[in-house]
Structure 1
Amino acid sequence: MNIAFIGLGNMGEAIAQNLLKGGHVLTVFNRTKEKADALLQAGAQWAATPAEAVERAEVIFTMVSDDGALRDVTTGEFGFLPALLEGAIHVSCSTIAPDTSRQLAEAHQQRNTVYVACPVFGKPEAAQAAKLWLCTSGNEAGKAKIKPLLELIGQGVYDFGEDVGAANVVKLSGNFLLGCAIEAMAEAFTLAEKNNISRTAVWTFFTDTLFNSPVYKNYGKLVAEEVYQPVGATPALIRKDIRLLLDEAQKALVPMPFGQIVHQQLTATVAKGVKDIDWAGFAGEVSENAGVSKR
Protein backbone atom coordinates (compact mmCIF):
# COMPACT_ATOMS: atom_id res chain seq x y z
CA MET A 1 0.00 0.00 0.00
CA ASN A 2 1.16 3.54 -0.69
CA ILE A 3 1.25 5.46 2.61
CA ALA A 4 2.11 9.02 3.58
CA PHE A 5 3.21 9.92 7.11
CA ILE A 6 3.24 13.50 8.37
CA GLY A 7 4.75 14.40 11.74
CA LEU A 8 7.94 12.63 12.81
CA GLY A 9 8.39 13.31 16.49
CA ASN A 10 9.38 10.46 18.79
CA MET A 11 5.99 8.79 18.39
CA GLY A 12 5.47 9.47 14.70
CA GLU A 13 8.91 8.29 13.65
CA ALA A 14 8.49 5.02 15.55
CA ILE A 15 5.04 4.36 14.08
CA ALA A 16 6.28 5.17 10.59
CA GLN A 17 9.18 2.74 10.99
CA ASN A 18 6.78 -0.11 11.74
CA LEU A 19 4.65 0.72 8.71
CA LEU A 20 7.78 0.67 6.58
CA LYS A 21 8.82 -2.67 8.07
CA GLY A 22 5.44 -3.99 6.98
CA GLY A 23 6.55 -3.71 3.36
CA HIS A 24 4.57 -0.62 2.41
CA VAL A 25 5.71 2.28 0.24
CA LEU A 26 6.16 5.24 2.57
CA THR A 27 6.49 8.95 1.84
CA VAL A 28 7.18 11.25 4.78
CA PHE A 29 7.05 14.93 5.67
CA ASN A 30 8.18 16.78 8.78
CA ARG A 31 8.92 20.44 9.41
CA THR A 32 12.49 19.44 10.37
CA LYS A 33 13.88 17.14 7.69
CA GLU A 34 16.66 15.78 9.93
CA LYS A 35 14.05 13.86 11.93
CA ALA A 36 13.34 11.82 8.80
CA ASP A 37 16.95 10.67 8.33
CA ALA A 38 16.50 7.18 9.81
CA LEU A 39 13.36 6.59 7.78
CA LEU A 40 14.98 7.78 4.56
CA GLN A 41 17.93 5.46 5.16
CA ALA A 42 15.43 2.62 5.67
CA GLY A 43 13.78 3.29 2.30
CA ALA A 44 11.15 5.97 2.85
CA GLN A 45 10.77 8.82 0.37
CA TRP A 46 10.91 12.52 1.30
CA ALA A 47 8.31 15.13 0.35
CA ALA A 48 8.90 18.88 0.52
CA THR A 49 5.32 19.69 1.56
CA PRO A 50 2.35 17.85 3.05
CA ALA A 51 0.57 18.12 -0.30
CA GLU A 52 3.49 16.52 -2.12
CA ALA A 53 3.59 13.70 0.44
CA VAL A 54 0.04 12.54 -0.33
CA GLU A 55 0.05 12.72 -4.14
CA ARG A 56 -0.04 8.91 -4.56
CA ALA A 57 -1.08 7.89 -1.06
CA GLU A 58 -4.02 5.62 -0.34
CA VAL A 59 -3.66 6.21 3.41
CA ILE A 60 -2.24 9.26 5.21
CA PHE A 61 -1.16 9.12 8.84
CA THR A 62 -0.72 12.31 10.83
CA MET A 63 0.91 12.59 14.25
CA VAL A 64 1.35 16.27 15.10
CA SER A 65 1.41 18.28 18.31
CA ASP A 66 -1.99 19.96 18.47
CA ASP A 67 -5.17 21.07 16.71
CA GLY A 68 -3.51 24.04 15.02
CA ALA A 69 -0.70 21.94 13.60
CA LEU A 70 -3.18 19.36 12.29
CA ARG A 71 -5.32 22.02 10.62
CA ASP A 72 -2.18 23.54 9.10
CA VAL A 73 -0.96 20.32 7.46
CA THR A 74 -4.47 19.37 6.36
CA THR A 75 -6.25 22.55 5.28
CA GLY A 76 -3.53 25.22 5.55
CA GLU A 77 -1.72 27.02 2.73
CA PHE A 78 0.38 23.95 1.91
CA GLY A 79 -2.08 21.46 3.37
CA PHE A 80 -2.68 18.10 1.76
CA LEU A 81 -6.48 17.96 1.58
CA PRO A 82 -6.82 19.37 -1.98
CA ALA A 83 -4.11 16.97 -3.22
CA LEU A 84 -5.70 13.75 -1.94
CA LEU A 85 -6.76 10.98 -4.25
CA GLU A 86 -10.48 10.27 -4.21
CA GLY A 87 -11.24 7.71 -1.53
CA ALA A 88 -7.96 8.27 0.33
CA ILE A 89 -8.11 7.79 4.10
CA HIS A 90 -6.63 10.22 6.61
CA VAL A 91 -5.76 8.50 9.90
CA SER A 92 -5.30 11.13 12.61
CA CYS A 93 -3.28 9.87 15.59
CA SER A 94 -2.89 13.25 17.30
CA THR A 95 -4.44 14.18 20.64
CA ILE A 96 -6.93 16.88 19.66
CA ALA A 97 -10.37 18.23 20.47
CA PRO A 98 -13.29 16.02 19.36
CA ASP A 99 -14.81 18.93 17.44
CA THR A 100 -11.61 19.34 15.42
CA SER A 101 -11.99 15.74 14.26
CA ARG A 102 -15.65 16.33 13.39
CA GLN A 103 -14.85 19.45 11.38
CA LEU A 104 -12.00 17.79 9.50
CA ALA A 105 -14.17 14.73 8.78
CA GLU A 106 -16.75 17.02 7.19
CA ALA A 107 -14.07 18.73 5.10
CA HIS A 108 -12.87 15.31 3.91
CA GLN A 109 -16.39 14.19 3.06
CA GLN A 110 -16.83 17.20 0.80
CA ARG A 111 -13.81 16.00 -1.21
CA ASN A 112 -14.83 12.32 -1.30
CA THR A 113 -12.04 11.35 1.07
CA VAL A 114 -12.26 9.80 4.53
CA TYR A 115 -11.12 10.89 7.99
CA VAL A 116 -10.64 8.36 10.81
CA ALA A 117 -9.67 9.32 14.36
CA CYS A 118 -7.03 6.99 15.80
CA PRO A 119 -5.37 8.43 18.92
CA VAL A 120 -2.89 6.12 20.63
CA PHE A 121 -1.81 5.20 24.14
CA GLY A 122 1.81 4.34 24.87
CA LYS A 123 5.25 5.88 25.25
CA PRO A 124 7.78 6.05 22.39
CA GLU A 125 9.32 2.73 23.41
CA ALA A 126 5.87 1.11 23.08
CA ALA A 127 5.53 2.68 19.66
CA GLN A 128 8.92 1.26 18.65
CA ALA A 129 7.87 -2.20 19.81
CA ALA A 130 4.48 -1.94 18.01
CA LYS A 131 2.77 -2.25 21.40
CA LEU A 132 0.51 0.79 21.31
CA TRP A 133 -3.15 0.67 22.29
CA LEU A 134 -5.27 2.26 19.57
CA CYS A 135 -8.70 3.89 19.74
CA THR A 136 -10.67 4.42 16.52
CA SER A 137 -13.87 6.16 15.50
CA GLY A 138 -15.40 7.37 12.25
CA ASN A 139 -16.27 5.93 8.86
CA GLU A 140 -16.82 2.16 9.08
CA ALA A 141 -15.42 1.30 5.63
CA GLY A 142 -12.37 3.45 6.31
CA LYS A 143 -11.71 1.72 9.62
CA ALA A 144 -11.99 -1.69 7.99
CA LYS A 145 -9.49 -0.77 5.28
CA ILE A 146 -6.85 0.53 7.69
CA LYS A 147 -7.15 -2.30 10.21
CA PRO A 148 -4.22 -4.33 8.75
CA LEU A 149 -2.05 -1.22 9.06
CA LEU A 150 -3.08 -0.64 12.65
CA GLU A 151 -2.12 -4.22 13.47
CA LEU A 152 1.44 -3.34 12.41
CA ILE A 153 1.74 -0.56 14.98
CA GLY A 154 -0.27 -1.68 18.00
CA GLN A 155 -1.18 -4.60 20.23
CA GLY A 156 -4.90 -3.87 20.25
CA VAL A 157 -7.52 -1.78 18.46
CA TYR A 158 -10.68 -0.62 20.25
CA ASP A 159 -13.44 0.98 18.20
CA PHE A 160 -15.86 3.61 19.53
CA GLY A 161 -18.35 3.94 16.70
CA GLU A 162 -19.13 6.28 13.84
CA ASP A 163 -18.97 9.61 15.71
CA VAL A 164 -15.48 10.55 14.63
CA GLY A 165 -14.89 12.61 17.79
CA ALA A 166 -15.56 9.69 20.13
CA ALA A 167 -12.03 8.28 20.07
CA ASN A 168 -10.69 11.73 20.93
CA VAL A 169 -12.97 11.87 23.99
CA VAL A 170 -11.56 8.50 25.06
CA LYS A 171 -7.99 9.71 24.56
CA LEU A 172 -8.54 12.83 26.65
CA SER A 173 -10.25 10.72 29.32
CA GLY A 174 -7.31 8.34 29.38
CA ASN A 175 -4.78 11.13 29.82
CA PHE A 176 -6.93 12.46 32.66
CA LEU A 177 -6.86 9.05 34.37
CA LEU A 178 -3.08 8.89 33.96
CA GLY A 179 -2.71 12.36 35.43
CA CYS A 180 -4.85 11.46 38.44
CA ALA A 181 -2.78 8.32 39.03
CA ILE A 182 0.46 10.33 38.91
CA GLU A 183 -0.89 12.95 41.32
CA ALA A 184 -2.18 10.27 43.71
CA MET A 185 1.15 8.42 43.72
CA ALA A 186 3.06 11.67 44.21
CA GLU A 187 0.97 12.50 47.28
CA ALA A 188 1.20 8.98 48.74
CA PHE A 189 4.94 8.60 48.14
CA THR A 190 5.66 12.06 49.54
CA LEU A 191 3.66 11.28 52.67
CA ALA A 192 5.75 8.12 53.07
CA GLU A 193 8.98 10.08 52.59
CA LYS A 194 7.98 12.63 55.24
CA ASN A 195 7.55 9.71 57.61
CA ASN A 196 11.04 8.36 56.82
CA ILE A 197 9.72 5.53 54.64
CA SER A 198 11.41 4.79 51.34
CA ARG A 199 9.40 6.03 48.34
CA THR A 200 10.61 3.10 46.25
CA ALA A 201 9.73 0.58 48.97
CA VAL A 202 6.15 1.91 49.00
CA TRP A 203 6.02 1.81 45.20
CA THR A 204 7.30 -1.78 45.17
CA PHE A 205 4.76 -2.90 47.75
CA PHE A 206 1.75 -1.37 46.05
CA THR A 207 2.70 -2.41 42.53
CA ASP A 208 3.35 -5.97 43.68
CA THR A 209 -0.03 -6.12 45.41
CA LEU A 210 -3.04 -3.79 45.09
CA PHE A 211 -1.90 -1.74 42.09
CA ASN A 212 -0.15 -4.31 39.92
CA SER A 213 -0.69 -2.57 36.58
CA PRO A 214 1.50 -1.02 33.86
CA VAL A 215 0.49 2.55 34.74
CA TYR A 216 1.40 2.26 38.42
CA LYS A 217 4.54 0.26 37.66
CA ASN A 218 5.89 2.49 34.88
CA TYR A 219 4.79 5.98 35.88
CA GLY A 220 5.09 5.02 39.54
CA LYS A 221 8.77 4.22 39.11
CA LEU A 222 9.39 7.72 37.77
CA VAL A 223 7.48 9.29 40.64
CA ALA A 224 9.06 7.09 43.32
CA GLU A 225 12.61 7.71 42.12
CA GLU A 226 11.89 11.30 41.07
CA VAL A 227 13.86 10.71 37.88
CA TYR A 228 11.62 11.81 35.03
CA GLN A 229 13.56 10.31 32.15
CA PRO A 230 13.28 9.30 29.40
CA VAL A 231 10.84 11.90 28.13
CA GLY A 232 7.68 10.39 26.68
CA ALA A 233 5.70 13.63 26.41
CA THR A 234 6.55 17.00 27.92
CA PRO A 235 4.53 18.80 30.63
CA ALA A 236 3.55 21.51 28.14
CA LEU A 237 2.16 18.99 25.68
CA ILE A 238 0.00 17.16 28.20
CA ARG A 239 -1.09 20.45 29.79
CA LYS A 240 -2.67 21.15 26.40
CA ASP A 241 -4.45 17.79 26.53
CA ILE A 242 -5.89 18.43 30.00
CA ARG A 243 -7.06 21.85 28.85
CA LEU A 244 -8.95 20.14 26.00
CA LEU A 245 -10.41 17.70 28.53
CA LEU A 246 -11.69 20.55 30.71
CA ASP A 247 -13.16 22.29 27.67
CA GLU A 248 -15.11 19.13 26.86
CA ALA A 249 -16.21 18.79 30.47
CA GLN A 250 -17.51 22.34 30.49
CA LYS A 251 -19.48 21.81 27.28
CA ALA A 252 -20.97 18.59 28.63
CA LEU A 253 -21.67 20.05 32.10
CA VAL A 254 -19.44 17.48 33.82
CA PRO A 255 -17.69 18.76 36.96
CA MET A 256 -14.07 17.49 36.94
CA PRO A 257 -12.29 18.86 40.02
CA PHE A 258 -9.45 16.34 39.75
CA GLY A 259 -8.90 17.49 36.17
CA GLN A 260 -8.47 21.03 37.49
CA ILE A 261 -5.85 19.81 39.98
CA VAL A 262 -3.81 18.02 37.32
CA HIS A 263 -4.03 21.06 35.04
CA GLN A 264 -2.87 23.38 37.84
CA GLN A 265 0.09 21.14 38.65
CA LEU A 266 1.13 21.00 35.00
CA THR A 267 0.67 24.77 34.70
CA ALA A 268 2.97 25.35 37.67
CA THR A 269 5.60 23.04 36.19
CA VAL A 270 5.48 24.77 32.81
CA ALA A 271 5.46 28.24 34.40
CA LYS A 272 8.64 27.42 36.35
CA GLY A 273 10.41 26.54 33.12
CA VAL A 274 10.94 22.88 34.05
CA LYS A 275 11.83 21.33 30.68
CA ASP A 276 13.28 18.15 29.24
CA ILE A 277 11.43 15.90 31.67
CA ASP A 278 8.57 13.51 31.18
CA TRP A 279 5.18 15.03 31.90
CA ALA A 280 4.96 12.86 35.04
CA GLY A 281 7.49 15.33 36.43
CA PHE A 282 4.59 17.52 37.49
CA ALA A 283 4.59 15.18 40.52
CA GLY A 284 7.51 17.28 41.70
CA GLU A 285 5.02 20.00 42.64
CA VAL A 286 3.81 17.75 45.47
CA SER A 287 7.33 17.13 46.77
CA GLU A 288 8.18 20.80 46.43
CA ASN A 289 5.16 21.89 48.43
CA ALA A 290 6.13 19.37 51.11
CA GLY A 291 9.70 20.68 51.27
CA VAL A 292 11.39 17.54 49.92
CA SER A 293 11.69 18.21 46.21
CA LYS A 294 14.57 16.68 44.25
CA ARG A 295 13.33 17.85 40.86
Structure 2
Amino acid sequence: MNIAFFGLGAMGIPMVTNLLRAGYAVTVWNRTPKEGLDGAVWADTPAAALAGTDILITMLADDNANRAALLDSGALDTLKPGAVHINMATISVELAQELAARHRENGRYYLAAPVLGRPPVAQAGQLQILVAGDLPALERVRPVLEVLGQQIWYLGETPEQANATKLAVNFMIGSAIATMGEAAGLVEGYGVDKKLFIDLISSTVFAAPIYKGYGKSIAEDVYEPAGFKLSLGLKDIRLTLDAGGAVQAKMPLATTIRDLHDDSLAHNEGQLDWAALAKVFTR
Protein backbone atom coordinates (compact mmCIF):
# COMPACT_ATOMS: atom_id res chain seq x y z
CA MET A 1 0.00 0.00 0.00
CA ASN A 2 1.75 3.15 -1.24
CA ILE A 3 1.16 6.36 0.73
CA ALA A 4 1.77 9.95 -0.37
CA PHE A 5 1.96 12.51 2.43
CA PHE A 6 1.69 16.29 1.86
CA GLY A 7 2.64 18.76 4.60
CA LEU A 8 5.73 18.33 6.76
CA GLY A 9 5.13 20.84 9.49
CA ALA A 10 5.23 20.28 13.24
CA MET A 11 2.50 17.66 12.94
CA GLY A 12 3.37 16.09 9.61
CA ILE A 13 6.95 15.09 10.39
CA PRO A 14 6.14 12.91 13.43
CA MET A 15 3.17 11.40 11.60
CA VAL A 16 5.33 10.37 8.64
CA THR A 17 7.98 9.07 11.02
CA ASN A 18 5.41 6.77 12.62
CA LEU A 19 4.22 5.51 9.23
CA LEU A 20 7.79 4.70 8.21
CA ARG A 21 8.42 2.88 11.48
CA ALA A 22 5.29 0.82 10.83
CA GLY A 23 6.77 -0.33 7.54
CA TYR A 24 4.74 1.72 5.08
CA ALA A 25 6.22 3.04 1.83
CA VAL A 26 5.77 6.81 2.00
CA THR A 27 6.42 9.46 -0.65
CA VAL A 28 6.48 12.98 0.78
CA TRP A 29 6.02 16.46 -0.60
CA ASN A 30 6.28 19.81 1.15
CA ARG A 31 5.98 23.36 -0.09
CA THR A 32 9.31 24.21 1.54
CA PRO A 33 12.01 21.59 0.88
CA LYS A 34 13.20 19.82 4.03
CA GLU A 35 15.71 17.17 4.96
CA GLY A 36 15.53 14.01 7.02
CA LEU A 37 12.85 11.34 7.29
CA ASP A 38 15.13 8.45 6.42
CA GLY A 39 13.23 5.91 4.37
CA ALA A 40 10.81 8.38 2.77
CA VAL A 41 10.90 9.13 -0.95
CA TRP A 42 10.99 12.87 -1.64
CA ALA A 43 8.95 14.23 -4.56
CA ASP A 44 9.67 17.54 -6.28
CA THR A 45 6.03 18.23 -7.15
CA PRO A 46 2.63 17.19 -5.82
CA ALA A 47 1.84 15.36 -9.06
CA ALA A 48 5.09 13.38 -8.89
CA ALA A 49 4.24 12.31 -5.34
CA LEU A 50 0.90 10.87 -6.45
CA ALA A 51 2.21 8.48 -9.10
CA GLY A 52 0.89 5.01 -8.17
CA THR A 53 -0.45 6.22 -4.84
CA ASP A 54 -3.11 4.18 -3.05
CA ILE A 55 -3.58 6.59 -0.14
CA LEU A 56 -3.00 10.33 -0.09
CA ILE A 57 -2.71 11.94 3.35
CA THR A 58 -2.68 15.72 3.55
CA MET A 59 -1.74 17.76 6.61
CA LEU A 60 -1.51 21.24 5.11
CA ALA A 61 -1.88 24.48 7.03
CA ASP A 62 -5.09 25.98 5.65
CA ASP A 63 -7.50 26.23 2.74
CA ASN A 64 -5.03 28.21 0.61
CA ALA A 65 -2.28 25.60 1.04
CA ASN A 66 -4.72 22.80 0.19
CA ARG A 67 -5.94 24.58 -2.92
CA ALA A 68 -2.43 25.35 -4.13
CA ALA A 69 -1.13 21.81 -3.63
CA LEU A 70 -4.17 19.84 -4.75
CA LEU A 71 -6.31 21.92 -7.09
CA ASP A 72 -4.28 24.77 -8.57
CA SER A 73 -1.37 22.43 -9.32
CA GLY A 74 -3.65 19.94 -11.08
CA ALA A 75 -2.11 17.18 -8.96
CA LEU A 76 -5.42 15.89 -7.63
CA ASP A 77 -6.50 14.95 -11.14
CA THR A 78 -3.58 12.50 -11.36
CA LEU A 79 -4.70 10.48 -8.33
CA LYS A 80 -5.87 7.11 -9.63
CA PRO A 81 -9.48 5.90 -9.40
CA GLY A 82 -10.14 3.91 -6.24
CA ALA A 83 -7.49 5.77 -4.24
CA VAL A 84 -8.39 7.24 -0.85
CA HIS A 85 -7.60 10.82 0.10
CA ILE A 86 -7.42 11.35 3.88
CA ASN A 87 -7.38 15.06 4.68
CA MET A 88 -6.20 15.44 8.27
CA ALA A 89 -5.95 19.23 8.24
CA THR A 90 -8.38 21.71 9.76
CA ILE A 91 -10.07 23.24 6.73
CA SER A 92 -13.34 24.95 5.92
CA VAL A 93 -16.58 23.08 5.50
CA GLU A 94 -16.86 24.63 2.04
CA LEU A 95 -13.51 23.24 0.85
CA ALA A 96 -14.32 19.81 2.30
CA GLN A 97 -17.51 19.74 0.23
CA GLU A 98 -15.61 20.80 -2.89
CA LEU A 99 -12.91 18.16 -2.47
CA ALA A 100 -15.45 15.43 -1.76
CA ALA A 101 -17.37 16.32 -4.93
CA ARG A 102 -14.18 16.33 -7.03
CA HIS A 103 -13.24 12.87 -5.79
CA ARG A 104 -16.71 11.46 -6.40
CA GLU A 105 -16.59 12.68 -9.99
CA ASN A 106 -13.34 10.80 -10.56
CA GLY A 107 -14.10 7.53 -8.79
CA ARG A 108 -11.97 8.22 -5.73
CA TYR A 109 -12.78 8.30 -2.02
CA TYR A 110 -12.44 11.27 0.31
CA LEU A 111 -12.26 11.11 4.09
CA ALA A 112 -12.11 14.17 6.28
CA ALA A 113 -9.99 13.18 9.27
CA PRO A 114 -8.86 16.21 11.30
CA VAL A 115 -7.07 15.43 14.53
CA LEU A 116 -6.98 16.47 18.17
CA GLY A 117 -3.52 16.72 19.68
CA ARG A 118 -0.33 18.76 19.50
CA PRO A 119 3.07 17.66 18.09
CA PRO A 120 4.14 15.56 21.13
CA VAL A 121 0.86 13.64 20.87
CA ALA A 122 1.44 13.10 17.15
CA GLN A 123 4.95 11.85 17.91
CA ALA A 124 3.53 9.31 20.35
CA GLY A 125 0.94 8.15 17.80
CA GLN A 126 -1.80 9.08 20.24
CA LEU A 127 -3.88 11.51 18.20
CA GLN A 128 -7.65 11.53 18.39
CA ILE A 129 -8.83 11.24 14.78
CA LEU A 130 -12.23 12.62 13.79
CA VAL A 131 -13.40 10.90 10.60
CA ALA A 132 -16.35 11.36 8.29
CA GLY A 133 -16.95 10.00 4.80
CA ASP A 134 -17.40 6.65 3.08
CA LEU A 135 -17.36 3.94 5.77
CA PRO A 136 -15.95 1.13 3.56
CA ALA A 137 -13.12 3.48 2.57
CA LEU A 138 -12.43 4.13 6.24
CA GLU A 139 -12.21 0.41 6.92
CA ARG A 140 -9.68 0.06 4.10
CA VAL A 141 -7.37 2.69 5.61
CA ARG A 142 -8.08 2.02 9.28
CA PRO A 143 -4.72 0.21 9.84
CA VAL A 144 -2.92 3.34 8.60
CA LEU A 145 -4.92 5.62 10.87
CA GLU A 146 -4.33 3.32 13.82
CA VAL A 147 -0.59 3.96 13.43
CA LEU A 148 -1.25 7.68 13.81
CA GLY A 149 -3.93 7.81 16.45
CA GLN A 150 -5.09 6.39 19.74
CA GLN A 151 -8.77 6.48 18.80
CA ILE A 152 -10.81 6.94 15.63
CA TRP A 153 -14.16 8.69 15.98
CA TYR A 154 -16.50 8.01 13.05
CA LEU A 155 -18.90 10.96 12.80
CA GLY A 156 -20.94 10.28 9.68
CA GLU A 157 -21.04 9.72 5.95
CA THR A 158 -20.59 13.37 4.93
CA PRO A 159 -16.95 14.54 5.15
CA GLU A 160 -17.77 18.05 6.37
CA GLN A 161 -19.28 16.53 9.53
CA ALA A 162 -15.75 15.86 10.72
CA ASN A 163 -14.60 19.36 9.80
CA ALA A 164 -17.51 20.99 11.62
CA THR A 165 -16.78 18.85 14.70
CA LYS A 166 -13.09 19.79 14.69
CA LEU A 167 -13.96 23.47 14.35
CA ALA A 168 -16.40 23.14 17.26
CA VAL A 169 -13.65 21.60 19.41
CA ASN A 170 -11.14 24.30 18.47
CA PHE A 171 -13.73 26.96 19.26
CA MET A 172 -14.05 25.43 22.73
CA ILE A 173 -10.26 25.46 23.16
CA GLY A 174 -10.13 29.12 22.18
CA SER A 175 -12.94 29.79 24.64
CA ALA A 176 -11.02 28.03 27.42
CA ILE A 177 -7.88 30.07 26.74
CA ALA A 178 -9.86 33.31 26.71
CA THR A 179 -11.67 32.34 29.91
CA MET A 180 -8.41 31.58 31.72
CA GLY A 181 -6.84 34.82 30.56
CA GLU A 182 -9.80 36.91 31.59
CA ALA A 183 -10.18 35.20 34.96
CA ALA A 184 -6.44 35.49 35.66
CA GLY A 185 -6.66 39.21 34.91
CA LEU A 186 -9.48 39.52 37.43
CA VAL A 187 -7.64 37.85 40.31
CA GLU A 188 -4.40 39.69 39.53
CA GLY A 189 -6.37 42.91 39.96
CA TYR A 190 -6.87 41.81 43.56
CA GLY A 191 -3.26 40.87 44.14
CA VAL A 192 -3.68 37.11 43.74
CA ASP A 193 -0.72 35.37 42.09
CA LYS A 194 -1.68 34.28 38.58
CA LYS A 195 0.41 31.12 38.81
CA LEU A 196 -1.33 30.08 42.01
CA PHE A 197 -4.74 30.73 40.46
CA ILE A 198 -4.00 28.64 37.35
CA ASP A 199 -2.67 25.81 39.53
CA LEU A 200 -5.85 25.98 41.60
CA ILE A 201 -8.28 25.72 38.70
CA SER A 202 -6.30 23.21 36.64
CA SER A 203 -5.97 20.79 39.55
CA THR A 204 -9.54 21.06 40.83
CA VAL A 205 -12.65 22.23 38.97
CA PHE A 206 -10.95 22.33 35.55
CA ALA A 207 -8.51 19.41 35.84
CA ALA A 208 -8.43 18.77 32.10
CA PRO A 209 -5.61 18.65 29.52
CA ILE A 210 -6.56 21.95 27.85
CA TYR A 211 -6.58 23.86 31.13
CA LYS A 212 -3.41 22.18 32.34
CA GLY A 213 -1.44 22.60 29.12
CA TYR A 214 -2.45 26.08 28.01
CA GLY A 215 -2.83 27.14 31.64
CA LYS A 216 0.84 26.38 32.32
CA SER A 217 1.87 28.67 29.45
CA ILE A 218 -0.40 31.44 30.73
CA ALA A 219 0.81 31.07 34.31
CA GLU A 220 4.46 31.24 33.31
CA ASP A 221 4.03 33.74 30.44
CA VAL A 222 5.87 31.32 28.14
CA TYR A 223 4.52 31.38 24.60
CA GLU A 224 7.46 30.16 22.55
CA PRO A 225 8.10 27.81 20.90
CA ALA A 226 4.53 27.67 19.66
CA GLY A 227 2.87 24.26 19.74
CA PHE A 228 -0.04 25.79 17.81
CA LYS A 229 0.27 29.36 16.55
CA LEU A 230 -2.23 31.99 17.61
CA SER A 231 -2.68 32.99 13.95
CA LEU A 232 -3.89 29.45 13.22
CA GLY A 233 -6.28 29.72 16.14
CA LEU A 234 -7.76 32.83 14.55
CA LYS A 235 -8.05 30.98 11.25
CA ASP A 236 -10.05 28.24 12.97
CA ILE A 237 -12.33 30.66 14.80
CA ARG A 238 -13.11 32.41 11.51
CA LEU A 239 -13.84 29.05 9.87
CA THR A 240 -16.09 28.21 12.83
CA LEU A 241 -18.11 31.37 12.28
CA ASP A 242 -18.38 30.61 8.56
CA ALA A 243 -19.57 27.06 9.32
CA GLY A 244 -22.10 28.37 11.81
CA GLY A 245 -23.41 30.90 9.33
CA ALA A 246 -23.97 28.16 6.75
CA VAL A 247 -26.48 26.41 9.03
CA GLN A 248 -27.90 29.53 10.74
CA ALA A 249 -26.20 28.70 14.06
CA LYS A 250 -25.76 31.87 16.11
CA MET A 251 -22.32 32.00 17.77
CA PRO A 252 -21.98 35.28 19.68
CA LEU A 253 -19.18 33.94 21.88
CA ALA A 254 -17.16 32.92 18.84
CA THR A 255 -17.54 36.47 17.49
CA THR A 256 -16.11 37.89 20.72
CA ILE A 257 -13.21 35.43 20.68
CA ARG A 258 -12.46 36.34 17.06
CA ASP A 259 -12.20 39.99 18.11
CA LEU A 260 -9.76 39.05 20.89
CA HIS A 261 -7.58 37.26 18.33
CA ASP A 262 -7.66 40.36 16.12
CA ASP A 263 -6.30 42.35 19.07
CA SER A 264 -3.47 39.85 19.48
CA LEU A 265 -2.52 40.04 15.82
CA ALA A 266 -2.57 43.82 16.01
CA HIS A 267 0.14 43.44 18.68
CA ASN A 268 2.22 41.14 16.43
CA GLU A 269 1.50 38.02 18.50
CA GLY A 270 0.32 35.76 15.71
CA GLN A 271 3.48 33.62 15.75
CA LEU A 272 3.22 32.95 19.49
CA ASP A 273 1.49 29.92 20.99
CA TRP A 274 -2.30 30.07 21.09
CA ALA A 275 -2.11 30.54 24.88
CA ALA A 276 -0.77 34.06 24.18
CA LEU A 277 -4.39 35.11 23.67
CA ALA A 278 -4.31 35.67 27.43
CA LYS A 279 -1.96 38.63 26.86
CA VAL A 280 -4.99 40.61 25.68
CA PHE A 281 -6.26 40.62 29.27
CA THR A 282 -2.83 41.35 30.72
CA ARG A 283 -2.79 44.53 28.64
TM-score band, normalised by shorter chain: over 0.9
Q: What is the 5 A alignment of 1:169-188?
A: 169-188=164-183
Q: Distance in 2 between matches of 1:254 and 1:225?
A: 36
Say whether residues 1:21 and 2:21 are aligned partners.
yes
Paired letter, 2:52 = R
Q: Distance in 2 between matches of 1:275 and 1:95?
A: 18
Q: Distance in 1 between matches of 2:101 and 2:30?
A: 25
Partner SS, residue 51 of structure 2:
coil
Report the equivalent of 2:279. 284
Paired letter, 2:213 = N
Q: Distance in 2 between matches of 1:153 and 1:179?
A: 25
1:144 CA drift (Å): 0.8
Paired letter, 2:8 = L
Q: Distance in 1 between matches of 2:36 and 2:256?
A: 40
1:114 CA drift (Å): 0.9
1:93 CA drift (Å): 0.9
Paired letter, 2:130 = C
Report the equivalent of 1:268. 263
1:68 CA drift (Å): 2.0
Q: Distance in 2 between matches of 1:275 and 1:92?
A: 25
Say whether residues 1:58 and 2:54 are aligned partners.
yes
Q: Distance in 2 between matches of 1:67 and 1:79?
A: 16
Normalising by structure 1, report the TM-score: 0.93
Paired letter, 1:153 = L
Q: What is the 5 A alignment of 1:98-247?
A: 98-247=93-242
Q: Is this contact kept in 2: 1:222–1:229, CA < 8 A?
A: no
Normalising by structure 2, report the TM-score: 0.97
1:279 CA drift (Å): 1.6
Q: Distance in 1 between matches of 2:113 and 2:208?
A: 24
Q: Distance in 2 between matches of 1:203 and 1:272?
A: 24
Query: % of aligned pairs identical?
Result: 37
Task: Decide whether aligned partners of structure 1 residues 85 and 251 sit closer, same or farther in structure 2, where only a CA change above 3 A counts.
Answer: closer
1:124 CA drift (Å): 1.0
Q: Is this contact kept in 1: 2:7–2:30, CA < 8 A?
A: yes
Partner SS, residue 164 of structure 2:
helix
1:229 CA drift (Å): 2.7
Task: After the TM superposition, list the runs of 4 or more consecutive aligned residues in structure 1 that deviate by more than 4 angstroms.
Answer: none
Report the equivalent of 2:89. 94
Paired letter, 1:148 = P
Q: Distance in 2 between matches of 1:217 and 1:69?
A: 32
Report the equivalent of 1:75. 71
Q: CA RMSD in A?
A: 1.2
Greater mean alpha carbon deviation, residues 222-231 or residues 61-70: 222-231
1:134-179 alpha-carbon deviations (Å, 9 max, x no partner): 1000111111111111111111111111011000000100110001
- The runs of 5 or more residues in structure 2 that have no matched partner are none
- The runs of 5 or more residues in structure 1 that have no matched partner are 289-295
